[in-house]
Amino acid sequence: MTLLRDEGLTAEELAVWRMLQRAQVRITRRLESELLVAHDLPLASYEVLMQLAEAAGRRLRMNDLADRVLLSRSGLTRLIDRLQRDGLVTREACPDDARGLFAVLTDAGAGRLAEATPTYLRGIRTQFLDMLGNGEMGQIRAMLGRLDAAGVTGAAASAAGGGAP
């Protein structure tokens, strides 16, 4: 532990990490703020509505949805509470499994989503995509794909002790 050697990061590596953090926070905050002022819709809510809109039958199991929007189960419960209170989403029982619930997008929810979508897409484009050179798209995609793959397997490795490659 005293000798870092292997773990030591170069100045460039550390700088890249910090830039990535800053970029991510900034992009996310601006996006959220734009959605909030223009449509009174938090980013997390937008993403729930978007996932539901894309899903078959405009519905998704709570558990499934929680995974997609990277929220804890309890977190999703409260978020769906709010969306349901605002009429954007309903809960429906699952026929196959009496424990299960579907979160279902209402027409009002689809409407709000449609209103907000241009803001969302424009935000992603101006805050993020515009900064990418054309050749970089492929590069980034490849890299993120690797991060993603390693992420899933890495979860198990990490839980198992994270030692050897």
Partner DNA sequence: AGGACGTTGTTGCACAGACATCTAACAGCA
Partner DNA sequence: TGCTGTTAGATGTCTGTGCAACAACGTCCT
Binding interface with a copy of itself (CB under 8 A): 1, 4, 7-9, 12-17, 19-28, 30, 34, 70, 113-114, 117-118, 121-122, 124-133, 136-137, 139-141, 143-148, 150-151, 154, 158, 162
User: CA-CA distance, 12 to 18, in Å (whole number)?
Assistant: 10
Among 11, 12, 37, 74, binds DNA (CB under 7 A): 74
Restricted to residues 23-52, the positions that interact with DNA (CB under 7 A) are 33, 42, 44
Binding residue (CB under 7 A) for DNA from 11, 37, 99, 152: 99
Give percent helix, percent strand, percent coil of the chain, each to the nearest 5.
70, 10, 20
Burial (CB count within 10 angstroms: exposed 0-12, middle 13-18, buried 19+), residue 117: middle
Q: How far is the CB of 113 from DNA (least distance, A)?
A: 17
| Among residues 97, 156, 164, 165, the one that binds DNA under rule CB under 7 A | 97
Least distance to a copy of itself from the beta carbon of 33, Å?
Answer: 9
60: β partners: 103
The listed partner (a copy of itself, DNA, none) that binds 139, CB under 5 to 8 Å by sort, is a copy of itself
In the complex with a copy of itself, the residue whose CB is nearer, 98 or 156, is 156
Interface residue list for DNA (CB under 7 A): 33, 42, 44, 61-64, 70-82, 91, 94, 97-102
